Amino acid sequence: MSHTLLITGASSGFGRLTAEKLAASGHRVFAGFRSVGARIQVADGLRAKGIHVVELDVTDQSSVDSGVSEVLKQSGGKLDVVINNAGIASAGVSETFTAEQVRDLFDVNIVGVQRVLRATLPTFRAQHSGLVINIGSILGRVTLPFFGLYGASKAAIEALTDSYRYELSQLGVDVVLIQPSAYPTNMYAAAQQPVDSDRASEYGNVAQIPAKILQTFSDLFQGKAAPNPEDIANAIDTVIATPAGQRPDRIVVGIPFGSDAVNAAVAPIQNGLMENLGLASLTKLQLR
C-alpha cells in the first residue's frame, strides 16, 4: 500500500537514504530540508527520483508550519507517516560545552520533534490514523562518555515517544522509535564540538579520549565489515509496511551494545506501571 510521508532532515545521512528507499517502495515522499538553497544539488537529485522537497527547519515553528502546509496542499490533505529524523550530534568533554550549545542541541533533537508533531498531529487525529516514527539512538539507553549530552537528548526522545504512544493510542495514531547504533554518515563529521577549550585542557589526557573514540568509529566505518546506513532506511520501510497494531514500540538497528537488554528489562516494568495506574488500555492501539 502506498502512503504519503514526510521526513525531516532529509538532505543527508539516514534521512536522504530513507527518502530514496521509501520512494523506491512506491510511497509518495516529502523530504524536509532545513535550507533547500544550501543543498540545491541534493534536492534536484531527490526530485529526479520522484521525491518532493520542502523547506522545513525544525528549529523554526513558522518554517515547520509552512512546510507541513505545503505538504498538505500538494497531497490534497493526505498525510500518513511522519518521520522525525532531523538531529545533530555532539562529542566532547561535557563541561566544555556552553549552555547555549546544549540549548541548540536540544532545540533540534527534542523541541524540533515537538514542533513537527504539533503541526502534523491535527491531520492524524482528524483521520483517526497515522504513524509517527522517531529516530532515537542506542545512546538513549546506554551511556557512552563524552557523548552524554547527545545521549541525554536521545533519552528524552525515549520518554517523549512513549508518552505520545500512550496519548495517541485511542486516536488510532501509532508511534514507533528507531534506535540506530553507530553508522557511517556525516553525523560524526558534523558533530557539535565544545567551544570552551580552556576547560578541556584542565582534564589532561582525558580530554584526548573523545578524538580517539571518533577515530575508532572512523576506522570501523572504513573497514570491510563497516555497517551499512541503509539498514535504517530498510527498518523504517519494514515498520511502515507492518499493519497498524502489530508494530513494535522500538527497534534497535545495528550493534546494540546492550541497549536491546535495557529495552527488554524496561518493557515489563513500564507495562506494569501502566496496569497499576489503570491505564493499560493506552498500551493498545485502537483501530477503526
Residue 46, number of CB atoms within 10 A of its CB: 22
Are the C-beta atoms of 93 and 82 separated by less than 8 Å? no
Quick check: is 150 catalytic? yes
Question: Of 150, 166, 183, 203, which is the active-site residue?
Answer: 150
Residue 214: phi, psi to the nearest 5?
-60, -35
Cα 114 from Cα 287, distance rounded (Å): 24
Name the CA radius of gyration of the chain, rounded. 19
The closest of 152, 150, 174 to 162, measured between CA atoms, is: 174
Are the C-beta atoms of 117 and 82 separated by less than 8 Å? yes
Longest C-alpha distance within the chain, in Å? 61
Dihedral sign of CA atoms 90, 131, 62, 14 in order: positive
Query: What are 52's three cell numbers?
Result: 518532493
Say whether 82 sits in a helix, a strand or coil: strand
Sequence letter at residue 188: Y
State the catalytic residues.
150
